[in-house]
Structure 1
Amino acid sequence: MKQVKPTNSKLIQKDRSRRVLAIVGDTQVGLWVVRSLARNGLEVHAITNTIHGQSAHSCYSTSSWLLDNNPSLPGFADEIIGLAQKLDVGSIMPVSEGFHNGLITLRDCLDAADIHLFSPSRECFDKATDKDYVHQLCLDLNIPVAKGMCLDELMEQGPESTLQYPLVLRTRKQNAGLGKVPVKAAYARNLDELLNWHKQFESFADNVLVQEYHPGAEEHVQILMHDGEMFMTGDYIGEHHMPLAGGVTVQRISCHHQDVIDDTVKLLKALNWQGIAGVQFHYDTDTGKYIFLEINPRFSGGLPTVVMAGFEAPFNLWQSHFEPERMRRTNYRLGLRTRILGGDANWFLGQLRRDELPPGQSHLGKIKAAMTILWNCGPWTKDDSFMLADPKPFFVDFKQMLKKLGARGHEIVN
């Protein structure tokens, strides 16, 4: 392992339970995990992917580290447990799904070392990341969900009339060690396009979920479940994505739709969920109708929006184990807009290039696209990284943004 940020002795806490090893990667999501924990009096040691990780440059991180091993390598267990003991932390808080999956396997070892892991149980994790299982669970609970089936099953039944086009194709099990759809979502507007996708995905067609596409904006619900009940939620609508056809939400606005929240709670209660989750829907703002998409057993990509709007999800998650009696709900600000500056710049370029869009959507005109991105340079739109008290991560991110300007991200495969 390599230490990339010297330990700031001013941030050291005497109480071991207030020391957290946060595996946060390089993005804004991880940065706001660190900020949320540290601003509430915790000592946070960050693990990033590279020296350019935003948390490594935050004044809120006590130290920052790079690992030699990832969760798929045999040396990971010894390295992560060794670092946790070296720093004498009371808990580990991962962000990415891959680290959750790897650390859940080590839970017994971590418990033996008196280190709490902020990850769901193995049973809950595996169920939540199995889209086929959750799809059936939604049907059983009368939660609106798109009609669909596995790609191999669809091809056996006959794709000509089984489902209505357009269709969306997604990976069914992300962590099963099987082949994956190389994008967040692939679309088939007709039979020829579906057959083309089948040729590319035939070797792992049993791990591809095909569903009827429903229009609407992506709505994400960040939720904390505690003792079998919902503690607090923060939801937001994704306004801009990169790639345009479906990817990271690079601009968002906080919102609240009670029906969506109610179904989120119903679903997680059925899973006996404990801790944090990000639940995604498609929400039609014109009709108020929505369908369930997926559960992410982690902090959602829009965590900066959620925290800035008032839901201190990472700190509340820590409290749920170490000081549940002090947990307090806060007001959640609606209509707060935040964005990833570099991602939004690439969204604008994607509009100019006329990159592929989801079915039924149309590109903005060049002038309207330019006016949209310029309008959101005003103070009414917050930046995902910039904070006056902690400015360095923004400038680190800005340098990386310039290198990636014009990138198309995870393009739809031709």
Structure 2
Amino acid sequence: MTDKQVRPPCYVLGIETQIGLSLVRELGEAGVPVVGIATGDKAIGLQSRYLAHGEILNKPRTDAGLAELRAIGERHGAGYLLTVSEANTTWLIENRDRLGVITPLLPSKDAFAIVLDKGRTLEAAEAVGIDVPKSASPATWADVERVAASFPFPAVLKWSDPNGVAPALHAAGIELVKAEYVYTADEFLRAAARYRPVEMWPLVQEYCPGVGLGQFFFMHEGKAVRRFQHLRVAEWPPEGGFSSVCDGVPLDQFKDLQEKSIRLLQAIGWEGVAMVEYRYDPASGRAVLMEVNGRFWGSFPLAMYSGAGFGLLAYSLQGQGVMPSLPALRENLRCRMVATEIKRLRRILLQPGLIRDRTFRVRPVHEVLRFVGDFLRPSVCYYVWNLKDVKPFIRDVRNAIGV
């Protein structure tokens, strides 16, 4: 038998997006037999040539879904499971011993609870010397009024645990707004009043100018065995969210900040892959922690193309206890999601009034020139499009037009 044939499969749950697709591509390129698990037959990952088998999970995050996973494991054999979303990670952590021959590769329950809670994450970060934004967590309306009287606005309102509050907000008919900008105490009070029916309020966080800086690590037995970092060039929504364009950053930059990030992950007790996200202001040099993502992140394709090997590390090191052979990092790539870029351009060119951050600098000509110019840059790669694996892109286009 060849080495490829004797390798246990890697199950990847969540292949509807570029994240799961990139995991399939990375592992498949390394010769790992990949069983992709989707929640619908239109998932882009089901079309990848790097997939050994595709499966549909009809009832995720239920007991019936656990039975489906066990049956999938019986069909394809004992192996390791990676997942993408926080909701699925939480579900699997609670049921890690109910998956039959499948071994999920997950963080500990305690560590994951910390990174899901922005307040606890910021406390841990401050304790290891990381700059954090001034924050307040009102628990009562009286707290809200005290914050309004004393907080240095402008501020951003964020839920400490969005997944945790979503059911209560939905039941009350209140929209879950992940990030809301308020510039004065009166604006804050008007926004906070929306949540009085549920008696829960978002975290109030100091507004920090700058761009997104992501530092990525694979932690094993308390040590960072692999690291990577990027800067966001463009985000959706334009004022800040997730990357639509990002650039790899050489590891000889932000070295002190990398070491602080590692100390934070060590303090949390983190094992496996994680993203430590900052808001970096080039004008002042200040980098302020935003959050820790204890999962594979939206711009993961850039890490894949750059040879970071985080998925392979999870399978080989976290799963089998064997350090894989990894290439030298490519640190000069740019990665982009064109569909999201088009949506972003539409907002900037045609709907600038919908940009919630009033300090966002609208530069239409610059944005158009950069968008067009990136098609001509040889170092640009794409979240979904890949010449070696074209069918996921075709499926993505068909999904977008409803075919």
TM-score for both structures, normalised by structure 2: 0.90
1:276 alignment partner in structure 2: 273
The question of whether the paired residues in 2 share the 8 Å contact of 1:20 and 1:91 is answered with yes
Post-superposition CA distance 1:368-396 (Å, at most 9, x none): 32212111122332111122211111222
**Structure 1 residues 347 and 74: CA distance shift in structure 2, 3 A:** same
Which residue number corresponds to residue 387 of structure 1?
A: 386
When structure 1 is superposed on structure 2, of 204-213 and 148-157 the one drifting more is 148-157
Gaps of 5+ in 1: 1-10, 405-414
Q: How far apart in 2 are the matches of 1:390 and 1:217?
A: 31
| 1:91-130 Cα shifts (integer Å, max 9, x gaps) | 11111111100011111223xx343211111111111111
Report the equivalent of 2:172: none
Report the alpha carbon displacement of residue 205 of structure 1 after superposing the two structures with TM. Answer: 5.4
- 1:288, CA displacement in angstroms? 2.1
Shift of 1:328: 3.8
Q: Which residue number corresponds to residue 319 of structure 1?
A: 316
2:73 aligned partner: 84
Deviations 1:205-245 (A, max 9, x none): 54521111111101112211011100111111111112223
For residue 79 of structure 1, report the CA deviation from its aligned partner: 1.8
In 1: Cα distance, 2:388 partner to 2:78 partner: 26
Residue of structure 2 aligned with 1:152, choices 115, 127, 139: 139
Name the CA distance, whole Å, in 2 between partners of 1:399 and 1:65. Answer: 20
| Cα distance between partner residues in 2 of 1:14 and 1:324 | 19
Q: Which residue of 2 aligns with 1:310?
A: 307
Q: How far apart are residue 403 of structure 1 and its match?
A: 5.9
> For the residues of structure 2 that align with 1:267 and 1:388, how far apart are their CA atoms?
39
Q: CA deviation at 1:139?
A: 2.0
Task: Tell me which amino acid in the other structure corresponds to 1:56.
Answer: L
Paired AA for residue 374 in structure 2:
N
Cα separation, 2, equivalents of 1:204 and 1:138? 30
Match of 1:26 in 2: 16
1:55–1:212 CA distance, 2 compared to 1 (3 A) = same
Residues 60-112 of structure 1: CA distance to partner in whole angstroms, max 9, x if unpaired? 011222211121x34222122222222213111111111100011111223xx
Aligned to 1:102: 91
User: d(CA) in 2 for partners of 1:204 and 1:137?
Assistant: 28
1:248 aligns with 2:242: yes
| CA spacing shift, 1:117–1:182, aligned 2, 3 Å | same
The answer to whether structure 1 residue 128 and structure 2 residue 128 are counterparts is no
Task: Tell me, in whole angstroms, the C-alpha distance in 1 between the residues paired with 2:97 and 2:155.
Answer: 42
Task: Give the % identical residues.
Answer: 22
Match of 1:186 in 2: 180
Residue identity opposite 2:64 in structure 1 = G
Specify the alignment match of 1:162 in structure 2. Answer: 150
Aligned-pair Cα RMSD in Å: 2.3
* 2:342 counterpart SS class: helix
2:340 is equivalent to residue 343 of structure 1? yes
Partner residue in 1 for 2:217: 223
Letter in 1 for 2:164: A
- Whether the 8 Å contact between 1:12 and 1:62 is mirrored in structure 2 is no
How many pairs are equivalent?
Answer: 389
Match of 2:58 in 1: 68
- Give 1:38 shift: 0.8
Q: Secondary structure at the match of 1:160?
A: helix
Q: 1:226, 1:275 within 8 Å by CA — same for their partners in 2?
A: yes
Structure 2: gaps (5+ residues): 170-174
Given that 2:36 and 2:54 are in contact with CA atoms closer than 8 Å, whether structure 1 keeps it comes out as yes
More moved, 288-297 vs 194-203:
194-203
| Aligned equivalents of 1:140, 1:326: Cα separation in 2 | 31
Displacement of 1:270 in angstroms is 0.3
Alpha carbons of structure 1 residues 54 and 277: separation in structure 2 relative to 1, 3 Å:
same
* Counterpart amino acid of residue 282 in structure 2: T
Tell whether the 8 Å contact from 2:333 to 2:380 is kept in structure 1 after alignment: yes
> What letter corresponds to residue 387 of structure 2 in structure 1?
L
Distance 1:217 1:245, change over 3 A: same
Structure 2 residue aligned with 1:377: 375
Find the counterpart in structure 2 of residue 400 from structure 1. Answer: 399
